[in-house]
Amino acid sequence: MRSTAPTITVHKFGGAALADAAAIRRVSSILASDAAPYKVVVASAMLGVTDAFLDIAHRAAAGEQERAAIDVLRERHLATARSLGVVGPADATLQAEICATFDELQRLFVEIAQCGELTPAMTDAFLSHGDRVAARILATALTASGIASQFVDAADVVRAHGPHGNASPDIEQTARAADNALRPIIERGVVPVVPGFIGRSPRGEMVTLGRGGSDLTATLLGRVLGARDVILWKDVPGLLTADPRVVPDARLIPVLHVREASELAYYGAKVLHPRSLIALQAGTRLIIRPYADPAAHGTEIVVERERKPTAGRARRPVKALTAIADQTLLTIAGNGMVGVPGVAARAFGALERAGVSVSLISQASSEHSICMGIPAVAANAAAAALREAFASELARREIDAIEVRPDLATIAVVGLGMAGTPGVAARLFGALADDGVNVVAIAQGASELNISVVVEGRDASKAQRAIHSAFRLGKIGGGTAVHPEHADVVILGFGQIGRELAAQMAMHSSRAGEQVQARVVGIIDRSGYVFDARGFSAKRLKELIAAKSARTPLAGVRRGVHATAEEAIVAITAHALSRPILVDVTAGDTSPVLEQALAHGMDIVLANKRPLAGPEKDARALARAAAADGRRVLHEATVGAGLPVIDTIQKLTESGDNILRIEACPSGTLGYLLGEMGRGTSFSAALREAMKRGYTEPDPRDDLSGMDVARKALILGRLIGFSGELADVEVESLVPDALREVAPDVFLDRLHEADAQWEQRIREARERGTVLRYRATVTKREARVGIAAVDGSSSLASLAGTDNHFSFTTRRYRANPLVITGPGAGAAVTAAGVLNDVLKLAGTR
């Protein structure tokens, strides 16, 4: 290799990138926009052509005289050439070359038919024409589009040895040939177009490098020419975490170490030829990029070791998985093997002599058996080779048998960080067991770069999907092995309650020595969101609370993002979160956001009443969506703030009791107001005091209207079998008629107008030995809320301050209702109720 080599880029276009004339035109534009001064192009056969040729060659050997298939392919190539718009002598030359190729294929067809057998040498000769003819078409097309190009046959450049069908390149000889055949062309500024996949053997025969071999041609030419970049243009965004045809949520891996990529290629990832990376050298970047989106980053395969993951960042031991189908497991078992050295070595020696490549080896620690995974096509030859190698042990019964188990698949999980990360294997087997996949054999590579499992062939797809999701490979930051031990919380709404919750969680997370069960990773408000996959520190939460309290919307804070809530959910859940929970502490109509969250795997905690107190069909739809996705919706704070009201209803119902009636004073605000008036304070003074203490909504008419209590009544009612809408709840409003429509400040100025009427009402109640309370009464048939005069000696009468009260009359608690009383208003208790639900979800899954 010359050190003075100019900057060269090798571009390889796979079959899909050369599918038809339109695709070929795109190749021209990709090359035109590459700024590298010197380029080499490797072309593979047009889409599907190698498979078609293989099929035709087999048919020829089988004596099928049907040659029309060759003519169909001839016509496809001619038609492609015609649609490229090449004119004049270049066009005529290309048409003639295509015809000559297909005439040669006809001749080979006859030869194979006469022979009655398809030898590997004949197969290679036949297949080599697919990539060659494609390279000729491409070279002509490029030249016609203004990029000076020249077809250079791989026979003149790539030297290879080893078996037909799977030859290996000879790097030194290829380097020499390339110096002669390619370098002068490159240095003239002309782009050589070389067919991939093929080379010439020392005996002068055409050999192929194994299916997908044009990848190898590209890395080989990159190496011998000292190219800076080798770009493989494919029909996928790059190297993905799994085969996208099997695992639909496979994700692009932006950077991958060459050892990881090799392992994936070796274990069957079709996107790269298994040996293509052997030729890669430090100083050359290998990039897999989508031809449909040339500006995309794709996957970069690097030779240098990756930088260490920064401290605190989730480690990603598992990068990707792949599978090899059609595997057979050979097992050599017997007591005579225990402690006898060299059994494994002899077995591999025998298989190597038989030309069988072993994809997996696993030896039981008892040394009682050795398992080997091999391609099904080689099973008979391999079993015969082993029986011969161990003939005497078999005869002496030291080895019981060579067992053959067909119809299997090997799945490999790959990642450099797996070495020394505990729990990867456990997680892997857990995932397979959960999905009912039986593991036939296991092997861990000595490098600990991969763990391979052998499963039944029919389980292979299911197993890949299960493993992909167990390591959360479809997520940004996925690939972790340890069991998630905490919940990641996203807060929707950053008003009073949201900020109080954040403050409580900051305290919760900074308590020394305790394991964190829940942490805040995201906060969403009307403007946008903030997110940190590692969880916000207590300090950062305080910063955010302060900013928002000073009226800065989240989109405006450091690293804040403008987005709708739905967009925020999508962006946030693209990351590998642990037990994600969306906490809705807004007062808005958030149903679409909640649905989005459920669909993206989040559980939900609600303090917001609206999703449950809106139209019945919406509330039901939410419950159905949660059930369908296996998610949970907790909403303790929607009724009694921090009191265990919903929990009690659920426990009663679960234990087989039947709730007949609920009587409740679920409004701390109205409770306080009526209590104060009972003590002789005027309506206007009591309300002003409540406002001063922060017990009311900004416009206190929102509390006085009774709608808040009506929503709570509806939520309770729906839990015990009441079917109806908010409009079906009978509501008594405490807003004086004359003051319903006036502006808020006018309302406050004229409050005293209602004092006299209230004074009279309170006095009359007292004279009857009763006390006024704002009460909700709920049964399966009705729900109503309003003022009730309760007996002065009842428990309701003795409610103090903002206390809430709930009384359940059930089949079991008929004479003596079950009562829950306690503080029910204020951001602190509401946030505590929410946090309680969060911890409940974090602790139980």
Rg (CA), the chain: 37
Residues 210-269 close enough to bind ligand ASP by CB under 6 A: 211-215
The verdict on 336 binding ligand ADP (CB under 6 A) reads no
User: Which of residues 323 and 572 has its CB atom nearest to ligand ADP in the complex?
Assistant: 323
User: Which of residues 15 and 474 has its CB atom nearest to ligand ASP in the complex?
Assistant: 15
Question: Minimal CA–CA distance to 36: which of 227, 279, 301?
Answer: 227
Binding ligand ADP (rule: CB under 6 A), the pick from 169, 199, 212, 706 is 212
Burial of residue 293 (CB within 10 Å: 0-12, 13-18, 19+) is: exposed
Burial of residue 659 (CB within 10 Å: 0-12, 13-18, 19+) is: buried
Which among Mg ion, ligand ADP, ligand ASP, none contacts residue 45 (Cβ within 5 to 8 A by kind)? ligand ASP
User: Which of residues 158 and 530 has its CB atom nearest to Mg ion in the complex?
Assistant: 158
CA distance 710 to 700: 16
The verdict on 234 binding ligand ADP (CB under 6 A) reads yes
What single string gives the DSSP state of each residue in 757-820? HHHHHHHHHHHTTEEEEEEEEEESS-EEEEEEEEETTSTTTT--TTEEEEEEEESSSSSS-EEE
Cα–Cα distances (Å) from 510 to 30, 80, 208, 518, in that order, read: 54, 67, 63, 11
Q: Name residues whose C-beta falls within 8 Å of residue 286's C-beta, 6 or more positions apart in sequence.
A: 219, 222, 229, 230, 232, 258, 261, 277, 280, 300, 301
Q: Name residues whose C-beta falls within 8 Å of residue 99's C-beta, 6 or more positions apart in sequence.
A: 74, 78
Smallest gap, in angstroms, from Cβ of residue 233 to ligand ASP? Answer: 12
**565-573 vs 591-599: helix crossing angle, rounded to 10:** 10
Q: Name residues whose C-beta falls within 8 Å of residue 705's C-beta, 6 or more positions apart in sequence.
A: 731, 733, 734, 735
Smallest gap, in angstroms, from Cβ of residue 19 to ligand ASP? Answer: 12
Q: Are 102 and 74 in contact (CB under 8 A)?
A: yes
The verdict on 130 binding ligand ASP (CB under 6 A) reads yes
Binding ligand ASP (rule: CB under 6 A), the pick from 113, 123, 174, 196 is 196
Smallest gap, in angstroms, from Cβ of residue 159 to ligand ASP? Answer: 18
Q: What is the largest CA-CA distance in the chain?
A: 119
Smallest gap, in angstroms, from Cβ of residue 41 to ligand ADP? Answer: 13
CA distance 181 to 187: 11
User: Which of residues 147 and 218 has its CB atom nearest to ligand ASP in the complex?
Assistant: 218
Residues 340-399 close enough to bind ligand ADP by CB under 6 A: none
Only segment of 135-143, 235-243, 483-491, 812-820 that touches ligand ADP (CB under 6 A): 235-243
Only segment of 19-27, 104-112, 269-277, 616-624 that touches ligand ADP (CB under 6 A): 269-277
CA distance 778 to 551: 40
Catalytic residue among 548, 712, 780, 840: 712
Which among Mg ion, ligand ADP, ligand ASP, none contacts residue 580 (Cβ within 5 to 8 A by kind)? none
Smallest gap, in angstroms, from Cβ of residue 77 to ligand ADP? Answer: 17
Binding map of ligand ASP across residues 22-61, x = CB under 6 A, - = no contact: ----------------------xx----x-----------
The verdict on 169 binding Mg ion (CB under 5 A) reads no
Which among Mg ion, ligand ASP, ligand ADP, none contacts residue 239 (Cβ within 5 to 8 A by kind)? ligand ADP
The verdict on 671 binding ligand ADP (CB under 6 A) reads no
CA distance 816 to 809: 8
Size of the site for ligand ASP (CB under 6 A): 14
484: number of Cβ within 10 Å: 15
286: number of Cβ within 10 Å: 29
Q: Is 539 a catalytic residue?
A: no
Smallest gap, in angstroms, from Cβ of residue 131 to ligand ADP? Answer: 11
Only segment of 208-216, 379-387, 674-682, 800-808 that touches ligand ASP (CB under 6 A): 208-216
Smallest gap, in angstroms, from Cβ of residue 215 to Mg ion? Answer: 6
Cα–Cα distances (Å) from 273 to 213, 250, 300, 321, 669, in that order, read: 6, 20, 16, 16, 71
Smallest gap, in angstroms, from Cβ of residue 593 to ligand ADP? Answer: 33
Binding Mg ion (rule: CB under 5 A), the pick from 212, 237, 317, 824 is 212
Q: Are 289 and 231 in contact (CB under 8 A)?
A: yes
CA distance 598 to 622: 9
Q: Name residues whose C-beta falls within 8 Å of residue 683's C-beta, 6 or more positions apart in sequence.
A: 673, 677, 751, 754, 755, 758, 759
The verdict on 45 binding ligand ADP (CB under 6 A) reads no
User: Which of residues 12 and 575 has its CB atom nearest to Mg ion in the complex?
Assistant: 12
Residue 705, Cα to own-chain centre: how many angstroms?
A: 47
Smallest gap, in angstroms, from Cβ of residue 14 to ligand ASP? Answer: 6
Chain positions contacting Mg ion, by CB under 5 A: 212
Chain positions contacting ligand ASP, by CB under 6 A: 14-15, 44-45, 50, 130-131, 196-197, 211-215
Chain positions contacting ligand ADP, by CB under 6 A: 14-16, 44, 212, 232, 234-236, 239-240, 242-245, 269-271, 320
List, by residue number, the catalytic residues. 712
